[in-house]
Structure 1
Amino acid sequence: MKLVRFGHPGEERPGLIDQKGEIRDLSGHIGDIDPAVLDDASLNKLRALKEDELPLVQEHVRLGCCVTGVGKIICIGLNYLDHVKEAGMQVPEEPVVFMKATSALTGPNDNIILPRNASRVDWEAELAVIIGKKGKYIEEANALEHVAGYAVFNDISERHFQLDRGGQWVKGKSADSFAPLGPWLVTRDEIADPSDLAIWQEIDGNRFQDSHTGQMIFKVPLLISYLSRFMSLHPGDVIATGTPPGVGMGMAPPVYLRAGNKVELGIEGLGRQSHYTVEDD
Structure 2
Amino acid sequence: MKRARVAYAGAIHEAVSHQDGLKLADGRIVPEKSVVWLPPFEVGTIIALGLNYADHAKELAFGAQEEPLVFLKGPGGVIGHNGVTRRPADVTFMHYECELAVVIGKRAHKVKRADAMQHVAGYTVANDYAIRDYLENWYRPNLRVKNRDGGTVLGPWFVDAADIGDTVHLPLRTLVNGKPVQQGNTRDFVFDIPYLIEYLSAFMTLESGDVILTGTPEGVVDVQPGDEVVCEIDGIGRLVNIIASDADFGR
Q: CA deviation at 1:229?
A: 1.1
Superposition map of 1:150-161 within 5 A: 150-161=123-134
User: What's the counterpart of residue 72 of structure 1?
Assistant: 45
**Bigger fraction of residues in strand:** 2
Which residue identity does 1:112 align to in structure 2? Answer: T
Gaps of 5+ in 1: 29-53, 249-255
Instruction: Give the 3-state SS of the residue equivalent to 1:177 in structure 2.
Output: coil
Q: For residues 202 and 9 of structure 1, what CA distance do their matches in structure 2 show?
A: 32
Q: For residues 8 and 180 of structure 1, what CA distance do their matches in structure 2 show?
A: 19
Q: CA deviation at 1:25?
A: 1.8
User: What's the counterpart of residue 36 of structure 2?
Assistant: 62
RMSD of the TM alignment (CA)? 2.3
Distance 1:9 1:88, change over 3 A: farther
| Matched-pair identity in % | 35
Q: Is 1:98 aligned to residue 64 of structure 2?
A: no
Q: For residues 166 and 148 of structure 1, what CA distance do their matches in structure 2 show?
A: 30
Which residue identity does 2:229 align to in structure 1? Answer: V
Q: For residues 150 and 16 of structure 1, what CA distance do their matches in structure 2 show?
A: 15
Which residue identity does 2:83 align to in structure 1? Answer: D
Q: CA deviation at 1:116?
A: 5.0
Distance 1:21 1:247, change over 3 A: farther
Q: CA deviation at 1:14?
A: 1.7
Which residue identity does 2:240 align to in structure 1? Answer: S
Q: For residues 11 and 243 of structure 2, what CA distance do their matches in structure 1 show?
A: 23
Distance 1:165 1:86, change over 3 A: closer
**How many residues were matched structurally?**
246
Equivalent of residue 238 in structure 2, options 259, 265, 272: 272
Do 2:128 and 2:151's aligned partners in 1 also have CA atoms closer than 8 Å?
yes
Q: For residues 82 and 180 of structure 1, what CA distance do their matches in structure 2 show?
A: 23
Q: For residues 59 and 274 of structure 1, what CA distance do their matches in structure 2 show?
A: 13
Deviation string, structure 1 residues 4-23 (Cα, Å, up to 9, x no partner) = 111269953222335x4842
Q: CA deviation at 1:167?
A: 6.1
Q: For residues 138 and 219 of structure 2, what CA distance do their matches in structure 1 show?
A: 24
Superposition map of 1:84-123 within 5 A: 84-115=57-88, 117-123=90-96
Distance 1:59 1:156, change over 3 A: closer
User: What's the counterpart of residue 24 of structure 2?
Assistant: 25
